A = this chain, B = another copy of it.
Amino acid sequence: MAKLTQLADNEVFRAYATYAAIVLLKMMLLSLITVYYRMTRKAVGNPEDTASFGKGDDAKKYLRTDADVERVRRNHLNDLENIVPFVGIGLLYALSGPELSTALLHFRIFTGARILHTFAYLIPLPQPSRGFSWAVGYAMTISMAFKVLKTVLLL
């Protein structure tokens, strides 16, 4: 295991692993919030899920969309569209040898922006808070991608 733990000893890689785990956990939290809203709003997406609310035709009415559930699902999809590229590009970035302070700046701003984005989406806060937090996170990932391409480019 010697060689592998050298990777985990690198400070930039440790910072990357920490923030990647945090934003992925934050994204996964939306699954629980979706379940919570589906149960409390009684709005499920599959016929077989209505059984928990009752039987027969009466239960069928719970197979429906709900504004709160759909909001969480949009937030979740937006997380997939933004956090997944961060995790992928962030790994390449961490391996491209950036300064620890620069790397931490990118990781912290991205993570802060995505946490703010979730609050802005779910409360919801008036625009442009959601748009702004989305744009800040987006810019961090783009900035890291350009650093990666500048360092490793081999077409």
Contact = CB atoms under 8 A, between A and B. Distances in A.
| Of A17, A51, A52, most B-chain CB atoms within 10 Å | A17
A154 B49 contact: no
Contacts of A130: 46, 48
Given A3-B7, A3-B10, A18-B149, A127 B48 contact: yes
A18 B152 contact: yes
Q: How large is the interface on A (under 10, 10 to 19, 20 to 34, 35 or more residues)?
A: 35 or more
A117 B49 CA distance: 14
- From DSSP, what is the main secondary structure of chain A's interface residues? helix
A21 interface: yes
A33 to B, nearest CB: 12
A148 B95 CA distance: 18
Given A4-B97, A14-B154, A45 B21 contact: no
Interface in A1-34: 1, 3-8, 10-15, 17-18, 20-22, 24-25, 27-28, 30-31
Interface of A: 1, 3-8, 10-15, 17-18, 20-22, 24-25, 27-28, 30-31, 45-46, 48-49, 51-52, 71, 74, 76-77, 80-82, 84-85, 87-89, 91-92, 94-97, 121, 124-127, 130, 138, 141-142, 145, 148-149, 151-155
